[in-house]
Copies of this chain bind each other. A is one copy, B any other.
């Protein structure tokens, strides 16, 4: 294969390279000035062998020849560029609400979050494959309700939704604290009430009302 290619081989190579459609032996004969089909076939055979190990192959389909990317490299033609992004805070909240309350409508999500949810947020969760529409609620307006997918459980390493920690567990883990602490801190710094605020600190026992 290392030998220099012959003139005819080169001509066939260039012709098929530049051709817009696959070409049969006859078309090649005509194009290359009335050579014998046997010569063309020979050149095609040489070329086919020469390209066999390469990134591009010369292939015959239904008697017509063309170059194409080697099958094992086909993935290079359509490259998927993966861009890893962290879920935004808003999307994480919406995902959590769906996971805890599913099936849940968008209006319900908004009322739980206490803020409007942009359409894009749900789109992102569906694009990620973690959330899917799960029918409609049979109430006026028949809103779409959303639920999590098996992929959601997979990605977050959950065997089932029941593995999600309950409210009590969240509290025990201090996950319900942040906002209370912020309030407390704010009150503590109001000078006049410093002593009284101390007593106001919502101690865990008083909080029960919160969670229910």
Chain A positions near chain B (C-beta within 8 angstroms): 1-2, 4-5, 9-15, 17-18, 31-33, 53-56, 67, 69-70, 73, 76-77, 79-81
Q: Which residues of B contact A12 (CB under 8 A)?
A: 55
Q: Which residues of B contact A69 (CB under 8 A)?
A: 14, 17-18
- Of B13, B55, B77, the residue contacting A5 (CB under 8 A) is B55
Q: Which residues of B contact A79 (CB under 8 A)?
A: 31, 33
Q: Which residues of B contact A33 (CB under 8 A)?
A: 79
Task: Pull 6 A–B residue pairs with CB atoms less than 8 Å apart, ordered by A.
Answer: A5-B55, A9-B55, A11-B76, A12-B55, A15-B55, A17-B56
- Of B4, B10, B70, the residue contacting A10 (CB under 8 A) is B70
Indicate how many identical chains form the complex.
2
CB distance from A75 to the nearest CB of B (A): 10
**Is the CB–CB distance between B32 and A76 below 8 Å?**
yes
Nearest 5 CB-CB pairings of A with B: A2-B2, A10-B55, A13-B55, A14-B55, A14-B69
Q: Which residues of B contact A81 (CB under 8 A)?
A: 18
CB distance from A31 to the nearest CB of B (A): 6
If A13-B55, A17-B69 are given as contacts, then 10 extra A-B residue pairs at C-beta distance below 8 Å, sorted by A number, are: A4-B53, A5-B54, A10-B54, A11-B73, A11-B76, A12-B55, A13-B54, A13-B56, A14-B73, A15-B76
Task: Provide the bound-state CA to CA distance between A13 and B15, in Å.
Answer: 18
CB distance from A24 to the nearest CB of B (A): 16
Q: Which residues of B contact A11 (CB under 8 A)?
A: 55, 73, 76
CB distance from A133 to the nearest CB of B (A): 32
Given the known inter-chain contacts A4-B53, A17-B67, please indicate yes or no for A73 contacting B31, CB distance below 8 A. Answer: no
